[in-house]
Amino acid sequence: MAGLKDTTIAGGYKSLIRISDNNGVSGTPIQITDGDGVNLPLIIGKDLVRVDPQDEGTAFEVYGSGAAQFRVNTNTPYVTALEHHVNTQYAHFGANNIDTADFTVNTHMAIPFNSQGYGDLGEIPAFGTSTDPATTFTTAEANTTRASDLVPCLWLVPDDITIDDIYAFVGADTATGDTTRIHLFQYTFNSGSTSALTSGSVIAHSTSDTTNAGSEQIYKTTLTKDVTDIAANKVILAFFRSDSISSDFSISITCKYHLR
């Protein structure tokens, strides 16, 4: 654009930004338009600046080094900074090789949330031997099924979230490892009921079983996401399964997510 020099008002009014019909800015927010009356995505007042796009989408961006360093999207909606959601958070599951010494062979064993540890050794909630963990869990007065056994493994999600990535580290404690598998599951939680967990479904899983060669190396796995959006008030559990018990394992699972 060459600018407005030597341009008449009639010839260049469409290039102007207009506040109002000669009333100026006041305490009442005013829609900003161009000189032809087309609304711009901006409303201002004496004490307010509001970005309000006509069509939902990216409403505000700050660019640097050829990329958006800060972005506000009003459609999804989301806010990102340095290409990450500004409300990105991390959750952790974990157990050490002492905790896992009583794992059952070829069985999906629940991993404590936030690395709490199990209530008692040997009382580890088990979720079956199928390809995926069981979709329900019933509490009872017996080892591995007491409420106190299950509680350390529960991650309650109070708000709607989106899962971004899940990573796991696994290390064995003997020279002989096992073939291992990891899952992340969501459940409906029923307070005060022996039908503690129902309507289970897979959030993410290890794409293929890991053939662990033993204690001389650590294995990192990035889980494949089956779903991303988790509804508020669901509970999430992590599971580990090995095809034999040649080793005890230390397991660390990190879940990256953001509020939505």
Domain ranges of the chain: 1-52, 55-86, 88-259
Task: Select, from the ranges 3-12, 20-29, 86-95, the one with the highest average predicted confidence (pLDDT).
Answer: 86-95
Task: Give the per-residue pLDDT at 22.
Answer: 66
Instruction: Report the percentage of the chain scoring pLDDT > 90.
Output: 57
Arithmetic mean of pLDDT, 203-228: 94
One-letter identity of residue 165: D
Q: pTM of the full predicted structure?
A: 0.79
Class of CATH domain 88-259:
mainly beta
The pLDDT, as a whole number, for residue 80 is: 75
Per-residue pLDDT, 126: 95
d(CA 177, CA 170): 11
Instruction: Report whether 97 contacts 81 (CB < 8 A).
Output: no
Looking at the predicted structure, is the pLDDT value of residue 11 above 60?
Answer: yes
Mean pLDDT of 170-195: 96
Average pLDDT over all residues of the chain: 89
